[in-house]
Amino acid sequence: MANDEYDPLAQARRISRRSILKFGAVALAVPLAGCYTVGLPGQPPLPDEEFDYALAYAELPDGEFTWPAINYQDFDQRYWRQVVDYRSGEKPGTIIVDPYNNYLYWTLSNKKALRYGIGVGRAGFAWSGDALIRVKREHPIWRPPREMIARKPSLERYWEKGYPAGLKNPLGARAMDLWQGSVDTLYRIHGTNDPSSIGKSVSSGCIRMWHQDAIDLFERVPLRTKVIVLTEDQATA
């Protein structure tokens, strides 16, 4: 049998196969060039000019719970989920929280981001800096912080086992917990049982989102996603 090393036809076949694999892979990658390629696989489509907001903010069955529809048209349109121009030197897939303008950005490139409206509790102004999402929770329980219990002793009963998941839970449908190294910052991105708080500064909580938006973000971002919470100077720069 002829040795392929000295067989021109065999060499040609090998070159042809390599070419098909190489250029076939390139061809498959080309359609993705104009699309978002950050975040988890199977994530929801990004909002575009034909995005159905009525469907996005409709009543949402979610396991044993059904989250109520959002009267999104009662809110300023800037708080609706949308892709916006946003310049950032951060790696695509980074979350940037602007608590002073009530926005959360998920960067898609150095020029674009998916923006959500948020409500900011007192804790949202008490902490800024960089962290990672180390824990993601569906239907989270809520454990009131000790300082809140001091102000309202009736909450003590929720300290040990926490407030159960459900429509009245202050963390809502999802929670994403922010850590710095091995330290839990106690800072959360989460849903809210008070949809009217979006776009506002409120008395308690961290970063609140409509349930539908919290679920949308939850389905996009992997664990160890970098989160930057801006200071007031950074937010107004």
21 and 43 in a single domain? The answer is: no
45 and 86 in a single domain? The answer is: yes
74 and 108 in a single domain? The answer is: yes
20 and 125 in a single domain? The answer is: no
Q: How far is the C-alpha of 121 from the C-alpha of 228, rounded, in Å?
A: 17
107 and 197 in a single domain? The answer is: yes
62 and 7 in a single domain? The answer is: no
67 and 126 in a single domain? The answer is: yes
4 and 98 in a single domain? The answer is: no
| Per-residue confidence (pLDDT) for residue 136, from 0 to 100 | 98
6 and 67 in a single domain? The answer is: no
- Catalogue the active-site residues: 190, 206
Q: What is the span of the domain harbouring residue 121?
A: 38-236
113 and 71 in a single domain? The answer is: yes
Q: How far is the C-alpha of 184 from the C-alpha of 49, rounded, in Å?
A: 39
53 and 130 in a single domain? The answer is: yes
| Per-residue confidence (pLDDT) for residue 28, from 0 to 100 | 30
* Torsion over CA: 191, 193, 198, 203 (sign): negative
| Per-residue confidence (pLDDT) for residue 151, from 0 to 100 | 78
- The domain that contains 126 carries what CATH number? 2.40.440.10
Q: How far is the C-alpha of 152 from the C-alpha of 141, rounded, in Å?
A: 19
How many structural domains compose the chain? 2
23 and 109 in a single domain? The answer is: no
pTM score, whole prediction: 0.81
| Per-residue confidence (pLDDT) for residue 123, from 0 to 100 | 63
If the chain, 237 residues long, is cut into consecutive pieces of 10 residues, what is the mean pLDDT of each piece?
41 38 31 60 96 98 97 97 96 96 97 96 74 97 76 75 89 96 91 94 80 98 97 83
